[in-house]
């Protein structure tokens, strides 16, 4: 793997670890009787469920079901209803059903229309193939006077698909990235409706992890999302990953991927009849062999020239990102994604250029612990160095920029662990242990601190000193970050792992 690794390679790794630490907590309980306040949205009235001083409105439609003729089109408005809708059950999971464009709202029980509480909109991860907004419990955020929205978006081929027959329908418009269009539609719904839940439409923070963080980076660059959010948080966002083009002569393109799939299900041609036949496919046919691990045919975000032009680092370097406060970072063992498919000795032996500098940077104590050295390299290539590049570019715009590194590992796991795995920060950020688990004393302190920093950032655009030291802005002089590590107390560093990241950056820019 190198810093030019495609999103497809990352997706293959994530799919191989779909039951690993990056998959977050279970949905917060079964459906119960609606007993919360009745609020009115543009579509109709809703009544949610009160629990732990928080009202949860589950399964709220933010767009029409993208089925039939609406498959592979921009999301259409949700239908209106006349009676009070009991918002007590989560909507369908986009991995499992096509009718899945629902979101969930967590709000303090005492919030009222006009409360103007800060809003946090969560975009889940899952390799653009699996996951659900329902799997994340926003209660601990809502208890700190924020309104939390967790969002579903189309996954797999339903969400990320291109074909010449579809391009012909909309040659000058956005193409292929229907899942990203769904995220924009959810943000539009928030703008139009969140005031009824006590939220402030003019103080919206988008945040997400992995595929969700990649989405955050693209939302920062997408003109269609401009003005719909006012702060952003990207957790493990793979900033140097290159989306493939929708169409390209003589090279791999998303349309070529789509054509191969169409041929497998017996659909030929690129005319209107082919588009109709594709939309008539059953859900089981549409989801056959989704992922195609190793084939390069995974359903993924693509460069359509309208919503997505290139990788995030290049977009930020060109100054095309939204001018909003930005908080980003990653974990100390992002290499956990690749452990099953990596031979550390081979990878170590393959490093021949600048080898002395590599060893000095990645094994300064001369341990010769090759698995750990390679894990550090993969972590820095995939997340840490791209995050520093994004932070550098964003800080140049004059916008507040904050960088973090999550390295906390429970004491019981430290002997066998290389660090915080991919997705391992989520339970601490949400201050909600995974189902059946619990925090040790240090972990509880880290969770409380991380959760409070995230809330402070959502409220003001500055994480401040919530739960620990004052979090300094990232700037060219110090390149400061906050590390959430052992000891239970966040620590500020300057030029963190600079030798390692400089070595990776040099290779990335060749």
Instruction: For residues 403 and 384, give the distance between their C-alpha atoms in angstroms, rounded to a whole number.
Output: 10
Question: Residue 464 — pLDDT band, cuts 50, 70, 90?
Answer: very high
Q: How confident is the model at residue 125 (pLDDT cuts 50, 70, 90)?
A: very high
Q: Pick the residue with more confidence: 385 or 416?
A: 385
Same fold, 7-303 and 327-508: yes
Mean pLDDT across 183-195: 98
Tokens 């997505």, residue? 308
pLDDT-derived band at 340 (thresholds 50, 70, 90) equals confident
- Residue ranges covered by each domain of the chain: 7-303, 327-508
Which numeric CATH code is attached to 7-303?
A: 3.40.50.1820
pLDDT given at position 295: 52
Q: Which of 488, 472, 497 is nearest to 383 (CA)?
A: 497
Residue of 102, 24, 18 whose CA lies nearest to 428: 24
DSSP string for 412-442: GGTTT--SSBTTTTHHHHTT-PPTT----HH
Considering the candidates 230, 247, 405, 422, report the single residue annotated as catalytic.
Answer: 422
Please, are residues 382 and 291 in contact by the beta-carbon 8 Å criterion?
no
* Per-residue pLDDT tens over the stretch 489-509: 999 999 999 999 999 999 998
pLDDT score of 479 more than 70: yes
Q: pLDDT class for 342, splitting at 50, 70, 90?
A: confident
- Please write the tens of the pLDDT for every residue from 205-234: 999 999 999 999 999 999 999 999 999 999
Q: What is the CATH number of domain 327-508?
A: 3.40.50.1820
The reported pLDDT for the residue numbered 14 is 56
210 is catalytic: yes
In the numeric block, the tokens 């699996």 are attached to 130
Q: What is the pLDDT of residue 12?
A: 53
> With 0-12 CB in 10 A as exposed, 13-18 as middle and 19+ as buried, what is 364?
exposed
For 126-198, list the strands marked E by DSSP: 147-151
Mean pLDDT over the full length of the chain? 92
336 is catalytic: no
284 among known catalytic residues: no
344-358: pLDDT as tens digits: 999 999 999 999 999
Q: What average pLDDT does range 291-319 have in this prediction? A: 86
Q: Say how far apart CA 272 and CA 275 lie, in whole Å.
A: 5
Burial bucket for residue 489 (CB in 10 Å: 0-12, 13-18, 19+): middle
| Pairing mode, strands 147-151 and 117-123 | parallel
- Are 214 and 130 in contact by the 8 Å Cβ rule? The answer is no
Query: What pLDDT is attached to residue 158?
Result: 98
Q: Which of 210, 215, 234, 480 is catalytic?
A: 210
Nearest-10 crossing angle of helices 355-362, 370-379 = 100
Q: How far is CA 482 from CA 130, 180, 325, 452, 489, in A?
A: 31, 30, 16, 14, 10
User: What pLDDT does 481 receive?
Assistant: 98
pLDDT over threshold 90, residue 317: yes
| CA pair distance 170, 350, nearest whole angstrom | 46
**pLDDT digit string, tens, across residues 6-42:** 555 555 555 444 433 333 434 444 447 999 999 999 9
Given the residues 334, 425, 479, 505, the one annotated as active site: 334
H-helix or E-strand containing 219?
A: helix 211-221
User: What is each CA distance from 363 to 2, 306, 366, in whole angstroms?
Assistant: 19, 43, 5
Q: What is the pLDDT of residue 155?
A: 97
CA distance 330 to 351: 24
Name the residue among 68, 76, 66, 63 with its Cα closest to residue 278: 68
- pTM, entire model: 0.95
Cα separation values, 480 from 332, 370, 402, Å:
16, 29, 8
């Amino acid at each position: 793997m190198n810093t030019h690794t495609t999103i497809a390679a990352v997706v293959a790794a994530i799919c191989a670890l779909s039951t690993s630490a990056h998959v977050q907590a279970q949905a917060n309980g079964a459906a119960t009787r609606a007993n919360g306040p009745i609020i009115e949205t543009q579509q109709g009235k809703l009544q949610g469920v009160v629990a732990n001083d928080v009202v949860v409105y589950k399964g709220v439609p933010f767009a029409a079901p993208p089925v039939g003729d609406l498959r592979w089109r921009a999301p259409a408005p949700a239908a209106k209803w006349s009676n009070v809708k009991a918002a007590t059950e989560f909507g369908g999971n986009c991995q499992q059903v096509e009718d899945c464009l629902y979101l969930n709202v967590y709000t303090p029980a005492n919030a009222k229309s006009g409360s103007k509480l800060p809003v946090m909109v969560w975009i889940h991860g899952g390799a653009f193939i699996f996951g659900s907004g329902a799997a994340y419990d926003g209660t601990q955020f809502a208890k700190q006077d924020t309104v939390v929205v967790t969002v579903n978006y189309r996954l797999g081929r339903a969400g990320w698909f291109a074909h010449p027959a579809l391009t012909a329908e909309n040659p000058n418009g956005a193409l292929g990235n229907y899942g990203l269009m769904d995220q924009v539609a959810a943000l539009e719904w928030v703008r139009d409706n969140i005031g009824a839940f006590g939220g402030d439409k003019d103080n919206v923070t988008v945040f997400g992890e992995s595929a969700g963080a990649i989405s955050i980076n693209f939302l920062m660059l997408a003109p269609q999302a401009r003005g719909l959010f006012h702060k952003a948080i990207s957790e493990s966002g793979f900033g140097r990953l290159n989306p493939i083009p929708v169409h390209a002569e003589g090279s791999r393109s998303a349309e070529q991927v789509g054509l191969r799939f169409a041929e497998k299900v017996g659909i030929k041609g690129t005319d209107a009849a082919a588009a109709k036949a594709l939309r008539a496919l059953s859900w089981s046919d549409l989801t056959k062999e989704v992922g195609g691990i190793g084939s390069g045919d995974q359903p993924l975000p693509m460069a359509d020239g309208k919503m997505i032009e290139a990788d995030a680092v290049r977009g930020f370097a060109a100054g095309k990102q939204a001018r909003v406060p930005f908080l980003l970072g990653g974990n100390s063992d992002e290499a956990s994604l690749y452990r099953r498919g990596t031979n550390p000795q081979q990878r170590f032996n393959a490093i021949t250029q600048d080898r002395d500098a590599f060893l000095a940077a990645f094994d300064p104590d001369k341990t010769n612990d090759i698995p750990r050295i390679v894990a550090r390299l993969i972590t820095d290539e995939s997340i840490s160095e791209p995050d520093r590049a994004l932070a550098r570019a964003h800080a140049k715009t004059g916008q507040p920029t904050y960088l973090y590194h999550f390295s906390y590992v429970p004491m019981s796991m430290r002997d066998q662990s290389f660090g915080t795995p991919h997705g391992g920060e989520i339970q601490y950020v949400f201050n909600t242990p995974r189902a059946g688990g619990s925090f040790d004393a240090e972990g509880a302190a880290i969770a409380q601190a991380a959760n409070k920093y995230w809330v402070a950032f959502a409220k003001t655009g500055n994480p401040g000193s919530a739960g620990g030291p004052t979090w300094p802005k990232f700037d060219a002089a110090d390149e400061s970050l906050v590390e959430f590590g052992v000891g239970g107390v966040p620590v500020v560093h300057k030029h963190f792992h600079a030798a390692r990241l400089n070595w990776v950056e040099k290779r990335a820019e060749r």
